Amino acid sequence: MINSTQVSYFILAAYFDTGDLKYLYFIVIMFVFILIICANLLLIVVICMNRGLHEPMYVFMCSLFVNDLYGSTALFPFLLVQILSDIHTVSVSCCFLQVFCLYTYGSVEFTNLAIMAYDRYIAICFPLQYNTRMTYNKVLILIVVIWLPPFIVVCVATCLSASLQLCGNIINKVYCGTYNIMKLACSDTSVNIIYEVITFFLTVCGPVSVILYTYIRILKVCFSGSTQTRQKAVSTCSPHLASLLNFCFGCLFEILQSRFHMNSVAGILQIFLSLYFLTCPPLCNPVIYGLNMSKIRIMCTRCLEL
């Protein structure tokens, strides 16, 4: 048995020997990381530099792209180092730092998508009152709501996990996660479990409830409104729905991979499923919004021509 005073590092047991293929995996992941950085940075710069895009909808999109960069930066450099390494270990401090970064990324993503849904609800259900309801000060408050509460909630969760006494140091994943760390604990985890349930309701159920409510109201307006209203709803909500579903599928894969034994699933597929919510949303969101939003598409084309 290993007690908490002896645990100075964790072993990431999900990695397996790929021989010379590790260089191919390194190149592919590096390419994906560069794509994510370039695509998200391009849209952030386009939105920030063009006054025509200084509207609440685009500000919230910019926040989403910033969060995607944040989550990717917390994962990909670590993955690249681990792929080339023969010993897959991570220090305790780095492990908990990664836990904090990745879980804040997921919490902020859900909250950001909920605020974007609320913004579309105001724009479609109260078009004449949009400017008076979505003021500059209110947008600032909503940006704070997107970022501050998730950081506080996840910070407490990370501190609770860090205070556990551990009887092992093997994590069966390619990155650190609180659930996997809790499974190594030999001290009472009831407080952690209760707080995880509270965190789930605050960071997942809360935002999802807001999204469901806003879309129910939007659907009611669409069914009772004109053809022009329905077209506006479809054009502005379809990118958001695509982004939401993409992220929700990724989170579902992560929960299934972490909470249940998937011995019948190939190791490489398990790794892909666990990385989906950290890879596909940051990669797909710029494409989803860049292609569907005409203003962004036009501005991006101009920037690339320069």
**Per-residue model confidence as pLDDT tens digits over 239-293:** 888 888 888 888 887 777 766 665 555 667 777 777 888 889 999 998 888 766 6
Phi/psi at 19 (nearest 5 deg)? 65, -140
Q: Which residues contact 31 (CB under 8 A, 6 or more apart)?
A: none
Q: Note the CATH number of domain 9-305.
A: 1.20.1070.10
Task: Give me 258's structure tokens.
Answer: 């972490």
Helices (H), 3-91: 21-49, 56-84
**Enclosing H/E stretch for 232:** helix 227-259
Residue extents of the structural domains in the chain: 9-305
Output the CA angle 82-88-91, nearest 5 degrees.
95
Q: What is the pLDDT of residue 41?
A: 92
User: Encoding tokens for residue 85?
Assistant: 């390494």
Is 168 strand, coil or helix?
A: coil
Whole-angstrom Cα Rg for the chain: 21
CB 217 within 8 A of CB 121: yes
User: Is 85 in contact with 215 (CB distance < 8 Å)?
Assistant: no
Q: What is the pTM of this model?
A: 0.89
H or E element at residue 12: strand 9-12
Distance CA 9, CA 89 (A): 6
Question: In this structure, are strands 9-12 and 89-91 parallel, antiparallel, or unpaired?
Answer: antiparallel
Residue with tokens 């007690």: 3
Total number of residues shown for the chain: 306
The residues near 265 (Cβ < 8 Å, ≥ 6 apart) are 273
pLDDT at 301: 63
Reported as a single tens digit per residue, the pLDDT across 92-136 is 889 999 999 999 999 999 999 999 999 999 988 888 889 899 999
